Amino acid sequence: MGHLASTKRPVAAVIGGVSWNQVIDVPRLPVGRTETLFATGSREGIGATGSGKALNLARLGFDTRLHALVGDDPEGDRACAELQGAGVRLQRVADPAGTERHVNLMDPEGRRASVYVNAGTHDPLDDMVSEAALAAFVSGADYVWVNLANYARRVLAPLAARGMPVWADVHDWDGQSDFHRDFVQAARYLFLSDEALDDPLGFAAHLARNRALVVVTHGRRGATALLPGHDPLFVPALPVDALDPNGAGDAFCAGVAYGHSRGWDWPTALGAGAAVAAGCVASPHLADPGLSPAWLERRLSGDG
């Protein structure tokens, strides 16, 4: 797929990942013994990687659709209302297990301990989510994000058959987990964290041999992109007063995709990712409410 003309509104199809979260700020994470911690703040809101990518992509002007399992419950209704309010076209598949819900404990350094209060349905029946339905959902999309939802892997074979490039974010994959492997193997544009890897850049260089792009994110230190036949490209994280790091990785991915859709070179696209991520962490939301193409381009020009 070539770069899109700047006058065309790109279409993004995102599969998997909507939750309703409670975030609790604590002075430090529990250390494995019985203890009492006093929260310094708490809030509720939409979460999960599909929500984060879809919200940021929609605010960046993509015609964005999101396919997700969401319960018929108040938490699901609130999550869906936020997505639709941002312009995301949501295909809501009723999850009989209820909406996925997390409690996230966050320390001042941005480290997180997540408790899955409800994990949702791991392996929905085919009559609930079929391969054919997912193939129809991605039809006509310029960008397809397949997230780490177990059912989402069902679309990988149809995408391969059509030759449609997959964008995937495998988060803190350790290079061994079989759960992630299908997504890794299918991805032409692959994002992963360095958190669980002993030699993240060496590992990513190996992965980059047959992909268009592999990006290793380093949290507060920035990210490194590996491209076939090129030296690694490093982009630092932008300095910002961090309020909530949840969703920063998804925001970064959306910014890079936006740069790609505009035909920018990879250093500029990576810089766009860093700018969108900075806006995310400076806000209590998964996407900065002020995010727009104009917002991003002002920051990249130094005027923001």
Strands 63-70 and 89-94, by their bridges, are parallel
**What whole-number distance in Å separates Cα of residue 169 and Cα of residue 166?**
10
Residue 166 carries which DSSP code?
E
205: phi then psi, degrees, rounded to nearest 5: -60, -35
Residue-level pLDDT, tens digit, the chain, 304 residues: 344 444 589 999 999 999 999 999 999 998 877 889 999 999 999 999 999 999 999 999 999 999 999 999 999 999 999 999 999 999 999 999 999 999 999 998 888 999 999 999 999 999 999 999 999 999 999 999 999 999 999 999 999 999 999 999 999 999 999 999 999 999 999 999 999 999 999 999 999 999 999 999 999 999 999 998 889 999 999 999 888 889 999 999 999 999 999 999 999 999 999 999 999 999 999 999 999 999 999 999 877 6
Give the domains, in start order, of the chain with CATH numbers.
Answer: 11-28+40-297 (3.40.1190.20)
H helix runs in 20-97, sequence order? 49-59, 74-85
DSSP-derived 3-state class of residue 154? helix
What's the rounded Cα separation, in Å, for the pair 145 and 257?
Answer: 10
